[in-house]
Structure 1
Amino acid sequence: MEVVVISVPKRMQAVVVHGPEDYRLEEVDVPTPGPGELLLRTEAVGVCASDLKCYHGAPKFWGDENRPAWAQRGIIPGHEFVGVVVAGDDAALAAQQVSVGDRIACEQIVPCEECRYCRRGQYWMCGPHDMFGFRNHHGAMAQYMVIPPKARAHKVSHDLEPHHAAYAEPLSCALHAVERADIHFEDVVVVAGCGPIGLGLIAGARQKNPLKIIALDLDDNKLELGRRTGADIVLNPAKEDVVARVKEMTDGYGADVYLEGTGATPAVAQGLNLLRKLGTYVEYSVFGSDVTVDWSIISDDKELDVRGAHLGPHCWPAAIRLLEEGKVPVEDICTHQFGLRDFQKALDLVADTSGASVKVSILPNAESDAVVA
């Protein structure tokens, strides 16, 4: 079987998980792709809130002996990535419809294609749920990584900056949440949060062209970024009663759709209270603790349609197209980039609640150790 290869080194730098708050930069062998696999030279990998929760050892990720940890010890983290194909046999290249030298981004999940969900076409809810950087597949906080046969790859233009191209992952997730909301032209849509996911929610909702998009955040600078991304009105819950303001703008009824993208527990009750009767609540965030709300609002009071959203199924081509067409202000969203040696600084910056950053990325093959915008 013929294998086409661009010259690669034998050893590489990679971040390796050894346990909660114990991630180490190590020198390891560059992986060798097997039959049907591709080898990717990693250009950029975004640091996600779920990466941070795993790093700090959130129980829902680390689990116990009866519930395997999502971030396995020995795994290389990183699931928001883009890179260049440098090796792969004919079968792998044909299956993914790529050539050596193409830039690709991959969906986070590597579906088994055998479970009940995969057989029904619901691959993003795959039972085994193997994911890059969390479970059974090394991620992109390394100079090279293997793309397995069942991965879902998408070509991305080389014209985009690497860290901008890697934003396709959170953007696709946000677009899926927008799809779940079933937004109509006359709707008033409220988006909670102007972080990486929230801004994607705004950009996606803008493509649906509702009557009005209202963005909420505690940081005025991020609110301004939300406006540039497509929000018509921005409100700061720390400075005004956003529930009252939304009702004022809707003849006392409330918003039609609420998209939650903060992961902050107060944002849940906020959404339930500012929605109208028969409104739609979509939850995308990953929470670090349990959330308690008055469920009678959902049922007896308003009969709300409450929906979850997970990953970005069927939304990757649209997300990539929005980036390639310049429809999303990624130059403002992607605020900080670091070299692989400074991965800890990247994690710490994502954990910083002061609002110093929006989207933080690592450039594993960057010539400089740290590149901070």
Structure 2
Amino acid sequence: MSTTTPAPEAAAQSGLPETMEAVVCHGPENYTLERVPVPVPGPGEMLMKVEAVGVCASDLKCYHGAAKFWGDENRPAWAQKEITPGHEFAGIIIRADDEATAHHGVDVGDRVTCEQIVPCGQCRYCVRGEYWMCGPHDMFGFRNYHGGMAEYLVVPKIARPHRISKDLPAHHAAFAEPLSCSLHAVERAGITFDDIVVIAGCGPIGLGMVAGARAKAALTVVALDMSDDKLALARKCGADVTINVGKQDAVQLIKDMTDGYGADVYIEGTGHPSAVGQGLNLLRKLGRYVEYSVFGSDVTVDWSIISDDKELDVRGAHLGPHCWPAAIKMLEAGILPMNEICTDQFLLKDFQAALDLVADTAGASVKVSILPGRTPE
């Protein structure tokens, strides 16, 4: 596994620096920037020079301890100590043997971004083609594989890399991961031409959901948020209607739009418990609810709304399987206002400031990124 690092001499012999800077997770609110040996790829593996890594809300929740950590009493765990975080990354392949390039269809010098999951290929889910639900569920930046908050990263043979244009700014290229997740949530909704679709949340994931719903040619795409600035950005991503839930009654407005029936589809992308009940209440009977978020606390709702009242379809969405080519195509085509979505970039040494900015939910930031390859000006 890629949690181990070789002796510094191995890196030196390959022409690489002996050490690099990397963020290391030692537990909740205990992340440190350290000098560690540069990893050396084994047979069938590739070495990436990381250009950019996005900071995700799940990174923040893990940092603050909402995740369960290996080594703690609570199990099962989905995060591991001594791992470098960061699962939304893009970079240049600088080392790879013939086995790796043939297997992945990637050449040295290509820019790639990788799916978050590192599927085992052997469990029931992988064998059935459902690799994103892999049983062991190893993930870059969380379990068994170091993530992108470092100068270099090993791409294992069982990873799922995708080439992406070098013409994009690196932090835009790294947005392929959250965008693919957004598109998968949209796919799970089964949107049709006559649907009124409501997207809750206009953060990075929600904005991608808005763009995805618009690409599906839904009749009306409605975006909900508490920030007027983010709602304006949602319109640029394809929303027809925006509602500030801090100032307006979203449930009533949606019912007014639909002759009292309610929306056909609700996709939850806020991670706030109140958004769950909101969605159940604004959907019509036989509507479709899609839950994407990772919650930091328990959620309680009246389940009779799902069953006896409305007979809703409630679906989960996890990661971005099969949506990466579409996400990359959207980014390369310039469909999204990426300069406005990617609001803040930090040096690797300032990773803590990046995490703190993501935590500032009242702030104006949308997508926060770290650029490990950039040096202070």
Aligned to 1:298: 306
Distance 2:230 2:309 in 1: 33
Aligned to 2:315: 307
Aligned to 1:209: 217
* 2:351 equivalent to 1:343: yes
Q: For residues 142-193 of structure 1, give each alpha carbon's deviation from its aligned partner in whole angstroms, at most 9, with x where no partner exists.
A: 0000000000010000000000000000000000000000000000000000
- Matched-pair contact (CA < 8 Å) for 1:192–1:258: yes
Pairing partner for 1:193 from 193, 201, 211: 201
- Matched-pair contact (CA < 8 Å) for 2:67–2:78: no
Alignment of 1:164-203 (within 5 A): 164-203=172-211
1:182 and 1:63, CA in 2 relative to 1: closer, same or farther beyond 3 A?
farther
Distance 1:60 1:26 in 2: 23
Aligned to 1:232: 240
Question: Which 5+ residue runs of structure 2 have no aligned equivalent?
Answer: 1-12
Q: For residues 26-63 of structure 1, give each alpha carbon's deviation from its aligned partner in whole angstroms, at most 9, with x where no partner exists.
A: 11111000001000000000001111111111154568
Aligned to 1:250: 258
1:47 and 1:303, CA in 2 relative to 1: closer, same or farther beyond 3 A?
same
- Matched-pair contact (CA < 8 Å) for 1:6–1:86: no
Distance 2:175 2:70 in 1: 26
- Matched-pair contact (CA < 8 Å) for 1:6–1:87: no
Pairing partner for 2:371 from 355, 363, 368: 363
Distance 1:292 1:280 in 2: 19
Alignment of 1:31-42 (within 5 A): 31-42=39-50
After the TM superposition, which segments of 4 or more aligned residues of structure 1 sit over 3 Å from their partners?
59-66
Distance 1:267 1:62 in 2: 30
Q: For residues 268-298 of structure 1, give each alpha carbon's deviation from its aligned partner in whole angstroms, at most 9, with x where no partner exists.
A: 0000000000000000000000100000000
Aligned to 1:100: 108
* 2:87 equivalent to 1:86: no
1:163 and 1:59, CA in 2 relative to 1: closer, same or farther beyond 3 A?
closer
Aligned to 2:275: 267
Pairing partner for 2:117 from 109, 114, 135: 109
Distance 1:265 1:238 in 2: 15
**Amino acid aligned to 2:352:** Q
Q: For residues 105-150 of structure 1, give each alpha carbon's deviation from its aligned partner in whole angstroms, at most 9, with x where no partner exists.
A: 0000000000010010000000000000000000110000000000
**Amino acid aligned to 1:314:** H
Q: For residues 311-345 of structure 1, give each alpha carbon's deviation from its aligned partner in whole angstroms, at most 9, with x where no partner exists.
A: 00000000000000011111110000000000000
* 2:135 equivalent to 1:127: yes
Pairing partner for 2:84 from 72, 76, 95: 76
Aligned to 1:56: 64
Displacement of 1:6 in angstroms is 8.6
Instruction: Name the SS for the 1:42 alignment partner.
Output: strand
Displacement of 1:7 in angstroms is 4.7
Distance 1:59 1:92 in 2: 33
Instruction: Name the SS for the 1:163 alignment partner.
Output: helix
Distance 1:61 1:201 in 2: 30
Distance 1:277 1:62 in 2: 42
- Matched-pair contact (CA < 8 Å) for 1:104–1:155: yes
Displacement of 1:21 in angstroms is 0.5
**Amino acid aligned to 2:53:** V
Distance 1:245 1:6 in 2: 62
- Matched-pair contact (CA < 8 Å) for 1:202–1:213: yes
Instruction: Name the SS for the 2:79 alignment partner.
Output: coil
**Amino acid aligned to 2:313:** D
Report how many aligned residue pairs link the two structures: 365
**Amino acid aligned to 1:210:** A
